[in-house]
Structure 1
Amino acid sequence: MIEENIQEVEPKQKSFKVKFNKFLNYISLTTSGMAIGMFATLIIGVIIEQIGSLTSFDFLIGMAKVLKSLMGVGIGVGVAMGQKKYSPLAIISFGVSGALATMVVSLRDGSLVLPFINGVQTNSNPLMPYIVVLITMFFYDLLFKKKTPLDLIIIPLFIATIAAIFSFLLCFPLTWFVFTLGNFVQWATTVQPLLMGSIIATVMGMILTAPISSVAIAVAINLGGIAGGAAAVGCSVQMVGFMMMSIRDNNAGKVISVGIGTSMLQFQNIIKKPTIWLPTIITSALLGPLSTMIFQLQTSKEGAGMGTCALIGPLTTILEMQDNLLMAIIGVLLLMIVGPALFVFLIDLLFRKLNWIKKGDLAI
């Protein structure tokens, strides 16, 4: 009797594992598409904006604004193309759904209603278009199994309508989620410096790598000063750290894209194997307190959530600490560049010897 029960349970367990692995692969594939879409729009826009600011070239700054505004489109197209099964019409329509997800239309008067936290617009949160695009893809797969003569009209109309509805429904719950994360980070600024540095560096770094807008949170809670410096260190650790870890499995272009673009390019691999996140998390927890207690790095709220993306984190820290320029330069070099590279490299080396991380785990 017992043997029969065991035999019945085993197929169910195997079935659950297969389904769970399929789900993880799906999330990994779609977040990879999201990261690529973000990189081609938002991240490239940030890099061009930084170049424009440094050179006082207004054309580049204007160009950057357009690129950044296309984030939703990029995410929609990136996620859809990653599935390798949709028609060009559907892919473009999913891009439109991503764009709609960055704004909400009021049911009352048809005006645009953008989500705000403490007066800061948070429609730049990549989580919103990502989720909305997944929902529209689900309904598309459910209903459009066969081609019809009216596809050219029906598909864009259907996808846009579904995207608009769910953008409205999910906008404020997702804004509340970001707000809650912001409140936690804000609470961390009130604890003693050692703990504050460790918590803020770790949490903000993880938010940067996850599909959540670390910049929106930093600006919304006015995360500047010493707390902002710890956040900048944590974000830099994620990017420089994953850049170092990526060297074994990727070409130079992809490695550089992680280092000065976004560490979110590795999020697909984190979904598959969470262990690869530990070296950067541990390093953030170690270097954060050094920032708050020894170097006392300070940065602006705009630079706190950027990390080494276009070198904004290091540059804003140096600009913010003009009164103590030497300490700023030393601190930035040690805690945002050299320290993360060295510590993550050593921890990664240890994890590889323990077989916790293997070759190919960080392939993009």
Structure 2
Amino acid sequence: MKQFFLRKGVNLSVKTYAITALSYMALGLFSSLIIGLIIRTAGEQLNWLFFVEMGQLAMDLMGPAIGVAVAYGLKAPPLIVFSAVISGAAGAELGGPAGAFLAALLSVEIGKLVSKETKLDIIVTPFVTIAVGYTIAYFLGPIIDVGLISIGDAIMWATEQQPFIMGIIVAVLMGLALTAPISSAAIAIMIELEGIAAGAATVGCAAQMVGFAVSSYRENGVSGLAALGIGTSMLQVPNVVKNPLILVPPTIAGAVFAPLSTMVFLMENNASGAGMGTSGLVGQIMTFSVMGFHLQILFIMLLIHVAGPAVISLSLSEWMRKKKWIKLGDMKIDQG
């Protein structure tokens, strides 16, 4: 059985499903829901109906985008990739983003098992992929969606009740998820994280990116500053494995500014921006979308998303270098 699975490209592992598949789901989300929301927001602000309709269409096609992204990430054959469009669409319709992910994941893996096993492959493979995807979406999608949204509701409620403690917890956990090889964006969207909890998550994620970008400037230069600060702090994962202490400065920076976000400035965000940090400036664009395009909001974001985390991360990392806990080269990234 194990040999059969390997031959069919089905790798039953946590890494495959919790890291690879989820990361590709995030790409599908960015290519549909997130970019669509940015386009629609721009259209609304500029009063361009063409952009509003374009963005809404991209958002409406989130499910198919997730289906294709997951199938591509799992290296599925072409017939399965194309059929996963239907699985993702069904999952999104019946169970939201999480339903789309689950329906696509299971339908793709089961589709692989039957792929090219019969002379009627062109019928059997897409039928099995679509049938499995729709069945999963129909029976499990709503349950998964409600369960994850309930978790998100609990987090948002707890953050409103205990903004200091929960602000720190949300910022730290979401920030670490952003740097880890999993998708903080997908997590935020699946649990529909909003309000001040989403604001805290944005602070934690931004702190990781800006913190690593500034702390490693001497090793990575301007290109590294951009790659980490606007791209992703996930580039530091190999270095974190070698020296986990490099996580300390940006994580503390996020913990420091999270209470300011939840208690002083009452910063909010939506699910699409909560897990993005400063990646493509999506976290900041979505903050504007929720709170309005005001100069005051811009100054607050510059303080708690950029300048503050940069100062704390750089100061702590320099102190840790003096203590020999971080050495030159510990944060050097591979920029291809």
Q: TM-score, normalised by structure 2?
A: 0.71
CA distance in 1, matches of 2:119, 2:12: 37
> How much has 1:138 moved relative to structure 2?
2.2
CA distance in 1, matches of 2:111, 2:184: 29
Deviations 1:300-353 (A, max 9, x none): 667873754163244257638x7xx65x44322110222234444566775992
Aligned to 1:183: 154
Contact 1:230–1:297, Cα closer than 8 Å, also in 2 = no
Deviations 1:272-296 (A, max 9, x none): 9595866554332111122345x42
Q: What are the residue-to-residue correspondences of 1:290-329 with 2, within 5 Å?
A: 290-293=260-263, 295-299=264-268, 305=274, 308-309=281-282, 311-316=284-289, 319=292, 326=296, 328-329=297-298
Q: 1:54 to 1:209 in 2, by over 3 A?
A: same
1:144 to 90, 115, 127: 115
Higher Cα Rg, which structure = 1
Aligned to 1:331: 300
1:213 to 188, 206, 211: 188
Q: 1:99 to 1:363 in 2, by over 3 A?
A: farther
> How much has 1:95 moved relative to structure 2?
2.8
1:171 to 136, 141, 145: 141
1:65 to 43, 56, 67: 56
CA distance in 2, matches of 1:64, 1:187: 33
Deviations 1:157-206 (A, max 9, x none): 21111001111232233221331232133123212x53243234335655
Contact 1:204–1:214, Cα closer than 8 Å, also in 2 = no
Q: 1:254 to 1:240 in 2, by over 3 A?
A: closer
CA distance in 2, matches of 1:150, 1:250: 56
Q: What are the residue-to-residue correspondences of 1:23-34 with 2, within 5 Å?
A: 23-24=14-15, 27-34=18-25
Aligned to 1:17: none
1:39 to 26, 30, 55: 30
**2:52 is equivalent to residue 79 of structure 1:** no
> How much has 1:25 moved relative to structure 2?
5.4
Classify the secondary structure of the residue corresponding to 1:217.
coil
CA distance in 2, matches of 1:245, 1:136: 43
> How much has 1:101 moved relative to structure 2?
1.1
Classify the secondary structure of the residue corresponding to 2:92.
coil
CA distance in 2, matches of 1:286, 1:95: 43
Matched to 2:192, the amino acid is I
- Paired residues, what number? 308
Q: Higher helix proportion, which one? A: 2
Aligned to 1:48: 39
Matched to 2:92, the amino acid is T
CA distance in 2, matches of 1:190, 1:131: 32
CA distance in 2, matches of 1:138, 1:38: 20
Contact 1:210–1:267, Cα closer than 8 Å, also in 2 = no
CA distance in 1, matches of 2:56, 2:209: 23
Identical pairs, percent: 27
Deviations 1:11-32 (A, max 9, x none): xxxxxxxxx9964256433233
Contact 1:303–1:316, Cα closer than 8 Å, also in 2 = no
Contact 1:242–1:259, Cα closer than 8 Å, also in 2 = no
Aligned to 1:340: 309
Q: Which runs of 5+ in 2 are unaligned?
A: 1-10
Q: TM-score, normalised by structure 1?
A: 0.66
1:89 to 59, 79, 101: 79
Q: 1:91 to 1:302 in 2, by over 3 A?
A: closer
Q: 1:301 to 1:47 in 2, by over 3 A?
A: closer
2:207 to 208, 225, 237: 237
